[in-house]
Structure 1
């Protein structure tokens, strides 16, 4: 296994800080949705995918999604310290779930569809967790029919945005000196 360079670590830190700012704002939006429109709470979960997707798509290195996600969680927690466990835990979980299909291929394939497969899978895992955590019996079937697809579609939409950001950064030469794995 290759050593992780300082450039990769600093790139993950920069991406994580940017993603943490988005996550911090998203946390307050999520709280508002939870209070006033809980069916639409799932829309905000995709914001936690942004730093991990950008890092993995831009740097194409093992562990970058997890590292950027955790850093984003720490930065997001600055804006709401009482949610530190939620921010860091979500960053860690999302980063690990996003890297899973790439781990299976031993980080040799970087096909765009793999990002979307990981986003759908991650959204389903999070939706099931919320479904169980909130108690399915407390909501009607139509409420779950609206809420659960949002938990899957939001990560897919933010994956698209994250890949777009990574492509633009790569085109601008941001990660040029970091290099790619063979």
Structure 2
């Protein structure tokens, strides 16, 4: 494992963080407007917060890259959403959580199945506090079932999107010179 981040790696994380942060701004705005009126729509967007860390982890395969990129994505959202500095905290939280499956493998396994399975498990776990927080426990049973299925599904879908984007960015040479371990199992 790398002991420190190179300048190129830091700049790559910053660029990915700002780019994905810009993509999160509409999700924050939709979440603000529809949180009480249409919680299932908000739940469908919850996986968007997995895009920054999973993209960085898939592209760079470096411990901490997901948390750093996701925190920068949150920072990019601060002036454009009603969440202010809480967006940075959300970014850090989602980024750190996204790193857990890779931490469990000591950052030695970078297979697509680990990305998707980890995201689905984390999405299901994140659904627990969301269940009562969004008032889903007060809704019709069919709506509750949809909500329960939505969290692991949305995190997995956005993770697959991150994997596709990472593959394209890697082909374009975005990860070149970052010290990415090219001998690791590829995504």
Using the alignment, how far apart are the partners of 2:44 and 2:137 within structure 1?
22
Equivalent residue number for residue 94 of structure 1: 94
Using the alignment, how far apart are the partners of 1:170 and 1:137 within structure 2?
43
Per mean C-alpha deviation after superposition, the further-off stretch among 164-173 and 87-96 is 87-96
Which stretches of structure 1, 4 residues or more, deviate above 6 A after TM superposition?
none
Equivalent residue number for residue 55 of structure 1: 56
Query: What is the TM-score normalised by the length of structure 2?
Result: 0.89
CA RMSD of superposed structures (Å):
1.7
2:5 partner SS: coil
2:33 is equivalent to residue 32 of structure 1 = yes
Using the alignment, how far apart are the partners of 1:120 and 1:129 within structure 2?
16
| 1:45-87: CA deviation from partner (whole Å, max 9, x where unpaired) | 111111111100001000000001111011112211x313542
Using the alignment, how far apart are the partners of 2:111 and 2:168 within structure 1?
17
Query: What is the TM-score normalised by the length of structure 1?
Result: 0.91
Tell me which protein shows more helix as a share of its residues: 1
Equivalent residue number for residue 146 of structure 1: 146
Q: Is the contact made by 1:127 and 1:151 (CA closer than 8 Å) also made in structure 2?
A: yes
Using the alignment, how far apart are the partners of 1:104 and 1:38 within structure 2?
32
Deviation at 1:40, TM superposition (A): 2.3
Unaligned runs of 5+ in 1: none
| 1:125-161: CA deviation from partner (whole Å, max 9, x where unpaired) | 2211111323454223222111221122111111011
Equivalent residue number for residue 107 of structure 1: 107
Using the alignment, how far apart are the partners of 2:117 and 2:92 within structure 1?
18
Deviation at 1:16, TM superposition (A): 0.4
1:173 partner SS: coil
How many residue pairs align between the two structures?
181
